[in-house]
Amino acid sequence: MKQIDVAIIGGGASGLTAAIAAARRGAKTVIIEHMDRVGKKLLTTGNGKCNYTNEAQGIPYYRGENPAFVMSVFRQFGFSDTVAFFREMGIEPKVKNGYYYPASGQASSVLDVLRMEAAFWDVEIWTSCELKDLQRQDGCFVLSTSRKVIEAKSVLFATGLLAAPKTGSDGSALPYIEKLGHRIIDIVPALVQLQGKQSFFKTLAGIRAEILIKIYIEGVEAGRESGELQFTDFGISGIPVFQLSRFATRALGQKKEVWAVLDFLPQLHAKEAQRLLERRFYEYAHGKRAGEAMIGLFHKKLSEVLLKEAGIDLQLPAECVSARQLRRLSEQIKRFRVDIIGSKGFSQAQACAGGIDTGEIEGESMMSKLVPGVFFAGEVVDIDGTCGGYNLQWAWSSGQVAGSHAAAYAME
Ligand SMILES: Cc1cc2nc3c(=O)[nH]c(=O)nc-3n(C[C@H](O)[C@H](O)[C@H](O)COP(=O)(O)OP(=O)(O)OC[C@H]3O[C@@H](n4cnc5c(N)ncnc54)[C@H](O)[C@@H]3O)c2cc1C
């Protein structure tokens, strides 16, 4: 039986970082990866450019049952440690509005340097290797894999959850984690497009608009975001939708009613929006029809849908639109309702919400409170970041902390 110090299951962002951290501390480290290569998801990040961190950091950028859990990890390895870690390995940052990308513009550079650093420190990487069994034996762990049986002093799960399962994170390690006694908080897609119920999406598909979006769950506001929304034939997409999606998917999983309210003129108060419409329809309509009076304010197709939803005939002379109809139009513009009935699911999600209950993990070391010698890193833990480099920041930081403590535990 092969004897090692640290066995890391999963060779994604957090697993590779954990392996480097463990090996740098002198631990004999093996990564068990069931895909044919490590870091497949990393290659797809940031549209192939990898937004690997963000200079704005803090608890509000992270979610989960206890988002403050991230702080004990970030205190040990935070944003500036991450930038230095990558710089030392060769990644010069390119910074756009505080968002960090490799100067090469290639996510593959990030993976390359991680792989090279792991190789330098003699991390063994076993790809296309399945975990078949995990047993505790005399203070050690015996891992039966499709390649070899190994005895490890500590085991580190860095297996992700269910987002983009084609890249390897398929939930296959979760039964082992549950068998160790850990509670897995319901896993739902996060950072994902939302599916709308109404029929107008076919008309609006492709249109982008600067909006304020609020998500309501059973009538109570769960969050709001501003930015560019994209309509698709399926529903709504874009960064502000992604940021709120985890609240919607969680609530839908609990069979709750979810809707979004879009404000197409967020810079104007309701009264100002009403006044703007009055000017366009009554003061300088100059013989235009209702549809024409909206030209230049919104995309033409969006105007048509707004007028239709307000019950206004596009062909009606603008001056003939009643004050009541104009109020309804203003209401549609400021409070456009989209009933949310689903999402694009795990296959299209960039992250998952849910995972291992942080109440069962020591924040200082990322070690299990239930089974000493078991460690966790990355998305498998009930922490999800917002868009902007926060999920990778969590993967690097938790990987670093878990890897170094797993090594220290193994070599005690
Ligand atoms: C399209 C896309 C774009 C993204 N862009 C960004 C971005 O720009 N910035 C950002 O911060 N975040 C981004 N993310 C999110 C980010 O990539 C993830 O949060 C992060 O990679 C999670 O790292 P991880 O190590 O926890 O898990 P993963 O990267 O999912 O790695 C888990 C690894 O474990 C392996 N594994 C799973 N189960 C087993 C098993 N039973 N046995 C052996 N191996 C196993 C998997 O094959 C995989 O290699 C993006 C995600 C996607 C899908």
Task: Give the pLDDT score at 185.
Answer: 97
**Residue among 45, 73, 42 nearest 59 (CA):** 73
Residue given tokens 């979004």 in the structure block: 260
Burial class (CB in 10 A: 0-12, 13-18, 19+), 184: middle
For 84-143, what is each residue's pLDDT tens digit?
A: 999 999 999 999 999 999 999 999 999 999 999 999 999 999 999 999 999 999 889 999
Our measurement of the distance from residue 280's CA atom to the centroid of its chain's CA atoms, rounded to an integer in Å, reads: 41
- 285 Cα to the center of ligand 1, angstroms: 54
**Of 9, 32, 41, which is best to mutate to test ligand 1, by the most ligand atoms within 8 angstroms of its C-beta?**
41
159 lines ligand 1 (CB under 6 A): yes
Neighbours of 238 (CB within 10 A): 21
Tokens coding 159: 């297996």
Tokens coding 293: 């009076």
Q: What beta strand segments (E) does 41-182 contain?
A: 53-54, 62-63, 93-96, 99-102, 124-126, 131-137, 140-145, 149-157
**Of 34, 36, 45, 156, which is best to mutate to test ligand 1, by the most ligand atoms within 8 angstroms of its C-beta?**
45
Give the separation between CA 381 and CA 361, rounded to whole angstroms.
9
- Domain ranges in the chain are 2-189+353-410, 193-344
**Of 52, 392, 393, 398, which is best to mutate to test ligand 1, by the most ligand atoms within 8 angstroms of its C-beta?**
392
Instruction: Assess contact for 3 and 150: CB atoms under 8 A.
Output: yes
Domain 2-189+353-410: homologous superfamily in CATH: FAD/NAD(P)-binding domain (3.50.50.60)
Q: Is 380 helix (H, G, I), strand (E, B) or coil?
A: helix
Task: Give the pLDDT score at 285.
Answer: 87
Residue given tokens 């003129």 in the structure block: 265
pTM exceeds 0.85, yes or no: yes
355 lines ligand 1 (CB under 6 A): no
Pairing mode, if any, of strands 149-157 and 374-376? Answer: parallel
Cα separations in angstroms, 397 against 8, 175, 344: 16, 25, 29
**Of 159, 166, 246, 382, which is best to mutate to test ligand 1, by the most ligand atoms within 8 angstroms of its C-beta?**
159
Kindly tell me the sign of the dihedral angle through the C-alpha atoms of 305, 309, 313, 318. negative
Task: Give the pLDDT score at 113.
Answer: 98
Task: Give the pLDDT score at 1.
Answer: 87
Q: Is 33 helix (H, G, I), strand (E, B) or coil?
A: coil
Give the separation between CA 112 and CA 116, rounded to whole angstroms.
6
Q: Considering only CA atoms, which residue is closest to atom 9 of ligand 1?
A: 389
Q: What beta strand segments (E) does 104-243 contain?
A: 124-126, 131-137, 140-145, 149-157, 184-190, 194-196, 208-217, 220-231, 235-237
Per-10-residue mean pLDDT, the chain, length 412:
96 98 98 98 97 97 98 98 98 98 98 98 98 94 97 98 97 98 97 97 96 98 97 97 97 97 97 96 93 96 97 96 96 98 97 98 98 98 97 98 98 91
Task: Give the pLDDT score at 363.
Answer: 96
- 63 Cα to the center of ligand 1, angstroms: 17
Task: Give the pLDDT score at 182.
Answer: 98
Closest atom, ligand 1, to C-alpha of 50? 8
5 lines ligand 1 (CB under 6 A): no
66 lines ligand 1 (CB under 6 A): no
